[in-house]
Chains A and B, each alone.
Chain A
Amino acid sequence: MATLLRERTAAAVPLAADPALWRRINRRTWLLLAAGALWLLGFAFLHGTATLSLPAAELTDLHRILNHFNAWIADNRDGNPVFVYLLTPLRSAVGWVAGFFMAIFAASPSGQLIPVMGWLGTVAVLTWIAFAVGNVRVALLTAAVFTFFGFQGLFVDAAYTFALVVTAVLLTLVAGIPLGVLAGISNRVQKVLTPVLDFMQTMPTFVYLAPLALIFLIGPASAVIATVIYAAPPVIRLTAHGIRSIPENTREASDSLGTTGWQRLRTLQLPMARRTIVMGINQSTMAALSMVTIAALIAAPGLGQVVVVALQSLDVGTAVNSGLAIVLMAIVLDRVTTAASQRAEPGAAKSRRLSGRTRLIVLGATLVLALGVVQLSRTILWAAVFPQNLNIGPAIGDGVNAASGWLQANLYFLTHSFREAVTVGILNPFQSLLTDTPFYLLSAVIILVAYAIGHWKLAAVTALSLAVIISLGLWNDAMVTLASTLLATIMVMLLGIVFGVAMGRSSRLDQAMRPMLDAGQTMPAFVYLVPFLGLFGATRFTAIVAAIIYAAPVAIKIIADGVAGISPTVVEAAVSSGSTPWQVISKVQLPMARKTLALAANQGLMYVLAMVVIGALVGAGGLGYDVVAGFVQSSVFGKGLAAGLAIVFLGILLDRITQAAAATPVRRQVPVRKQVASKI
């Protein structure tokens, strides 16, 4: 979920027959080969020296300083003016809003577990809202899913998650839509905001948590703040995009009538961008759900909490039960906001079956009905608290546990040997290639690669990122994470090429697979861990498999779009000159989609990285483990904070290098003046 929407184009660039270009590619190939040779030689002769490995419980001075910093903040929280006048009031305000929604949907703050509205009232009100913003179908879906939460024995947890999502989305919109509008109107704001949003979206969910917990303490308030930061970019971007894509002539027509800036915004820009803005709300909502579940690590209540506890005690059944609830919640949120965006289509009113007035009457009547149900569930116990005897959650959990046990016992040979084969045969050697090579040598190799791909500027950024990781004292852990990330990304790219090319070549396959991929992308990162935990147990391998499955959809989609976007006449020409299908793929389609492949690798890497660090919850080591440990033990808090930073810089490094690969070869631009001249 690291990147939801980026305005990066995936255009296919034909291979240029430019001699200078070929020279450059050759030079690049030489540099890359040299880097590879240097690495292998260094590994062969110097392996095991200067690895900078740091055992899990050991700290560097920097980590201890960060620990002290933590203690210092704890001591000064009540005295420092920044806290007293800014951060603490912010925390209380956010906490108050979160508390308000939690009390309504989940439980009153006084501790008794009876929500203000009761479960039946909650279901009624949410169903009505789904009907009002969407349609009857999504309303029925909402009712069914929320009732099912009750049967799962997870109603209260689901309600907590929902309440936090609502809080976070509300605050996101309050902050995000005005910012998006500003960015849509003003070029200057747009210029300042774009790199900030880019940066926010390259950061894996995980790394927001520790610093926020440091400043705002753990609990719902910091969970909401982390979620707002994570969920804001899509709605800001899409709002700005919606406003910017209003046709110039419409805007001009409105100006010609003498509109003021405010009138233009109200009568033209907001209404015409409405659908795009609601799409942004959809994406932000999905991001919010993802983050709210992960924020369980900083003590946010809800379904995420149930999953984390279950993962830590390896209780696959409970994890699956509540993972299922998260998936269902994601489906409901996605469907309702999608229906809302269709309703927001300009001119959608004309095709509606109900006229405006009838609809108002229906809405009013159903609202009264919903409020009646709320009243009912305030007075009758079975409508207030979901009846215990209908709770089939434990049964689901036991069933899954039994199934998982059976699988692990009977397929032990298969799953175990597969896992061991990959781990011993590929994962371990590759990881040791990264971790056992002396750090100075490997750094040099990476910088050389960056230089080959993107020249001095990229090499400098890379060197800086590596220097930060080294000085954070986490080189070795970073290399463990990098090894898993690279392996998973290679798998993602293989899947991406196989399925992407197939989809790009056959629109039928595309139609069949795309809904699945879309659904896969809306799921919170968390729930991917659960099924593989059941199959492979708690190991690094599980995290890598989850990361592959999590990141594959985005790569497949990008590659499919790239292949499908190749001009049909080029393919036709190749076919008519007698190429076999395989020749068409390997000689025409893949080379022409080269830029797209690099873009897919970029996005795939960011998704994989996000997942590999979360994989620490099921036994992956490296930086993710340091982060999780930092949450749990205050003695390694500083190390966890440093690991979060290291993840950020690792992300920047990978993002920049793959982006540069996606950007080259750059063809020289025809000077603008000449273009204008030829037009006259």
Chain B
Amino acid sequence: MNSPVISVRNLWKVFGPGGEKVPGDPKLSQSSPADLLGRAGCVAAVRNMNFDVAKGEVFVVMGLSGSGKSTLIRCLTRLIEPTAGQVLVDGRDVLQAAPAELRELRRRKMSMVFQHFGLLPHRTVLDNVSYGLQIRGTAKKERHAASREIIELVGLKGYEQHYPDQLSGGMQQRVGLGRALAGDPDTILFDEPFSALDPLIRRDMQAEVIRLHKEMGKTMVFVTHDLSEALKLGDRILIMRDGEMVQMGSGDELVGSPADSYIADFVSEVPRADVLTLKWITRPVDAATPADAPVLAAGTLIRDAIPLVTDSSCPVLVAEPGGAVLGQIDRDSILSVIHGGVSHGAGSHGIAAQLPDGGSHASPSEEAVA
């Protein structure tokens, strides 16, 4: 991981009267959401949040409705004014930025895609996409040329002169995406961009985002409440509850070793074999295992290992990228994953307990909470 583009430190957002007192007050800042509401009449939508986003990473923020995801992502560019803490973008604190500097940040470094699109109904697709460039003061000819390229990139060629209400939801969100891309920002923020779309279109759009990420390599912060979307897109996932971070890690870390029953519940519906890699089920090598047994890389998805393991007459060895053998797996361990995925709960903890080194990065949330 290279140096972070965005670092969030002790970030708080408290809605309600007297909210600015909450982060500094040891009693209030520790109290539960219901207590806080009862005693101070405030809602802490973001509580003491800490994380880094690396350059080129897709960082997903997840949580149930009302957990504070939208608030958090809006705090990054101060669309919502944070109550306390720091947001460092390229080392500069956004919270200290003067209005002009903040505008520059929004114009050139970070743009956003919204759940409800937020397109301007009185402007054509072309004018919507070039809106950001117009705001920056780019000449008309130039911004239209740039926007036409972007429109082609997001697959809307031929619709330049249409108005938003003449487009389907998916196409409207492509316009929203185009508008965010047009300014060529370093980072794109997404707030549940696809939850207003139907499942098929959503899949298309997810593929679109993956393609754009590959082609342009932009840093992305992506808010969603859909776990499969998070697992599909995210390099790392942060899970929030009541404004707090519960766990942060890669998809297989969350599924393989949930920090608590909340997360376990959250991930229980996921087909585990599709997410977990072999390292999560590797056991020490048995003496009886022949030395010439088949070898698989530790990063292989369990699902992909099924044919080889079921066909093989003996257990299969699992090796690290360097070549050192980590351990072995057999039919039983694979079956227990598939079975555990169905009956959820205890199984997942059992697997976590077997992990040789899983504990070290499995529950960073406990450090954050402490």
Binding site for B on A (CB under 8 A): 247, 249-250, 252-260, 263, 267-268, 271-272, 274, 346-347, 350, 673, 676-677, 679-680
Q: Could you tell me if A267 and B163 are in contact, using CB atoms closer than 8 angstroms?
A: no
Bound Cα distance from A257 to B103, whole angstroms? 8
Q: Can you sample 22 A-B contacts with CB below 8 Å?
A: A247-B118, A249-B116, A250-B119, A252-B118, A253-B118, A253-B119, A253-B176, A254-B118, A254-B120, A255-B106, A257-B131, A257-B183, A258-B102, A258-B105, A260-B103, A263-B135, A267-B120, A267-B131, A267-B134, A272-B120, A347-B121, A673-B37
Q: Could you tell me if B122 and A257 are in contact, using CB atoms closer than 8 angstroms?
A: no
For B135, what are the chain A residues with a Cβ–Cβ distance below 8 Å?
257-259, 263, 267
Q: Could you tell me if A256 and B112 are in contact, using CB atoms closer than 8 angstroms?
A: yes
Q: Chain B nearest CB: distance from A252 CB in Å?
A: 6
Report, nearest first, the 3 A-B pairs whose CB atoms are least far apart: A253-B118, A258-B106, A258-B107
For B104, what are the chain A residues with a Cβ–Cβ distance below 8 Å?
258
Binding site for A on B (CB under 8 A): 33-34, 37-38, 41, 43, 66, 74, 77, 79, 102-107, 111-112, 114-123, 131-132, 134-136, 162-163, 165-166, 176, 179, 183
Q: Chain A nearest CB: distance from B309 CB in Å?
A: 46
Partner of B66, one of A254, A255, A256, A680: A680
For A268, what are the chain B residues with a Cβ–Cβ distance below 8 Å?
120
Q: Could you tell me if A256 and B121 are in contact, using CB atoms closer than 8 angstroms?
A: no
Bound Cα distance from A272 to B38, whole angstroms? 40
Interface of A is mostly: helix
Sample of 16 more A-B contacts, CB < 8 Å, known A253-B114, A267-B120: A249-B115, A252-B74, A252-B114, A253-B117, A253-B118, A255-B106, A256-B114, A257-B183, A258-B102, A267-B135, A272-B121, A347-B163, A676-B43, A677-B34, A677-B38, A680-B43
Bound Cα distance from A347 to B102, whole angstroms? 32
Q: Could you tell me if A250 and B118 are in contact, using CB atoms closer than 8 angstroms?
A: yes
Q: Could you tell me if A255 and B79 are in contact, using CB atoms closer than 8 angstroms?
A: yes
Q: Could you tell me if B163 and A256 are in contact, using CB atoms closer than 8 angstroms?
A: no
Q: Could you tell me if B114 and A249 are in contact, using CB atoms closer than 8 angstroms?
A: yes
Q: Could you tell me if B120 and A257 are in contact, using CB atoms closer than 8 angstroms?
A: no
Partner of A673, one of B41, B77, B119: B41
Q: Chain B nearest CB: distance from A342 CB in Å?
A: 14
Bound Cα distance from A253 to B79, whole angstroms? 9
For A347, what are the chain B residues with a Cβ–Cβ distance below 8 Å?
121-122, 163, 165
Q: Could you tell me if B120 and A350 are in contact, using CB atoms closer than 8 angstroms?
A: no
For A260, what are the chain B residues with a Cβ–Cβ distance below 8 Å?
103
Q: Could you tell me if B112 and A253 are in contact, using CB atoms closer than 8 angstroms?
A: yes
For B163, what are the chain A residues with a Cβ–Cβ distance below 8 Å?
347, 350
For A263, what are the chain B residues with a Cβ–Cβ distance below 8 Å?
135
For A274, what are the chain B residues with a Cβ–Cβ distance below 8 Å?
122
Q: Could you tell me if B37 and A676 are in contact, using CB atoms closer than 8 angstroms?
A: yes
Q: Could you tell me if B103 and A258 are in contact, using CB atoms closer than 8 angstroms?
A: yes
Bound Cα distance from A250 to B128, whole angstroms? 12
Bound Cα distance from A347 to B124, whole angstroms? 8
Known interface pairs A258-B103, A673-B37, A677-B37. Does A249 touch B43 (Cβ–Cβ under 8 Å)? Answer: no
- Which A residue sits closest to B34, measured CB to CB? A677
**A253, A255, A271 — most chain B CB neighbours (10 Å):** A253
Bound Cα distance from A603 to B82, whole angstroms? 46
Q: Could you tell me if A679 and B131 are in contact, using CB atoms closer than 8 angstroms?
A: no
For A677, what are the chain B residues with a Cβ–Cβ distance below 8 Å?
34, 37-38
